[in-house]
Amino acid sequence: MLSFYKMAINSPPLRCNEEEKNYLISDENFLDFLESKIDNDLGYYFWKKYIAAAFWAQISTPLNLMITIMTALTTAQSTSTGFLTKEAYRDISVATLLFTVINTFFTPLAQLNKSVEMVKKWNALGMNFEEIFYSVNKYENIDEYIEKYKALQKEINVLRDSEGPETINFVTDLIHTISVCSCLRGYDKWLSNDRVLMKKKIDIIAGRFGLSPCCDEGGCCNPTQVEIPGSSEAEVQTEKDSEKTEETKTLDSMENGGPEKTPKESLENKVVESHD
């Protein structure tokens, strides 16, 4: 056991896979890798701070409003006796004291302001990323844009390092994790919404030029127009059932005295009988 432990310590660090190394050697692939990395980081930290700001906003506003109303009631009671009963005045005063202590200790308003400020900073980095990402001549000057992405990544690392322990909240982190796995699924990156809009535009173009059988001229892909596997078998089975039904009707009519006559044939038979 001890020899295995020594081998693990003295063993050289694992090197990157050869396929990954060969992939990142290409400047174009390295550019795409940086774009994906920055897209993930910006989306992750932006939504994390946005959820934290929303959380503190839902606590700070009702708490401060409640303290203001209770303080106004106790002030009115102190200026004019008989406005509240002694029991109600005592209960409101105790509740005001407790809410004031909670507000002073947790400082939800200060946490809200910090979170909003961080959201603005991440939003500014995101807009800078969009300006680089949507450049027309990006793949013509790859080295230049790689340096731009590296500078942007440094700004992201500096902003991440500037966050102190007072900005860490395990409750908001848990809410963010749940949101990423539920309502933010597929929209947790910075450019997620842009990709959805781009996909819709591609569907529109594909439908106009007939590039896709499931797209129409009005917009997105219509899955109802796509042939479902096994639908042909269902149609064959339906045709067989209809044939069986027709055969059953024919047998019933023969048992009742021959095939069923149409109204025209019945009228002709009545005319012949009256003539006879």
Reply yes or no on whether the pLDDT at 192 is more than 60. Answer: yes
Compute the distance between CA of residue 276 and CA of residue 273 in angstroms, rounded to an integer.
Answer: 5
The one-letter amino acid code at 239 reads: E
Please say whether the dihedral angle defined by the alpha carbons of residues 130, 131, 132 and 134, taken in this order, is positive or negative: positive
Reply yes or no on whether the pLDDT at 253 is more than 70. Answer: no
Q: Which of the 8 DSSP states describes residue 213?
A: T
Residue identified by tokens 């439908």 is 207
- Helix, strand, coil distribution of the chain in percent, nearest 5: 75, 0, 25
pLDDT tens profile 114-158: 999 999 999 999 999 999 998 888 888 888 999 999 999 999 999
pLDDT tens profile 29-85: 888 899 999 999 999 999 999 999 999 999 998 999 999 999 888 888 877 777 778
Please answer whether residues 172 and 54 qualify as being in contact, where contact means their C-beta atoms are separated by less than 8 angstroms: no
Summarize the confidence of residues 240-265 as an average pLDDT. 54
Residue identified by tokens 């946490």 is 111
Return the structure tokens found at 83.
């406005």
Please answer whether residues 83 and 77 qualify as being in contact, where contact means their C-beta atoms are separated by less than 8 angstroms: yes
pLDDT tens profile 204-227: 666 665 555 554 444 445 544 444
Q: How confident is the model at residue 186 (pLDDT cuts 50, 70, 90)?
A: confident
Q: Which of 127, 114, 107, 108 is nearest to 49 (CA)?
A: 114
User: How many CA atoms within 13 Å lie on the side-chain side of 234?
Assistant: 5
Answer with the residue of higher pLDDT: 2 or 16: 16
CA 269 remoteness from chain centre: 74
pLDDT for 205: 66
* Domains of the chain by residue range: 26-190, 191-224
Summarize the confidence of residues 186-202 as an average pLDDT. 81
Q: How far is CA 242 from each of CA 18, 246, 247, 251, 271, rounded to the nearest angstrom? A: 63, 6, 9, 14, 35
Reply yes or no on whether the pLDDT at 252 is more than 60. Answer: no
Helix (H/G/I), strand (E/B), else coil: 64: helix
Residue identified by tokens 């019933």 is 252
What is the residue-wise DSSP string for 130-185? HHHHT-TTTTTSHHHHHHHHHHHHHHHHHHHHH--GGG--HHHHHHHHHHHHTTTT
pTM over 0.85: no
pLDDT for 214: 53
Q: Which of 71, 72, 57 is nearest to 99 (CA)?
A: 71
pLDDT for 16: 52
Please answer whether residues 31 and 142 qualify as being in contact, where contact means their C-beta atoms are separated by less than 8 angstroms: yes
pLDDT for 226: 41
Q: Which of the 8 DSSP states describes residue 11?
A: S
pLDDT for 13: 46
Q: Which of 111, 96, 110, 101 is nearest to 66 (CA)?
A: 96
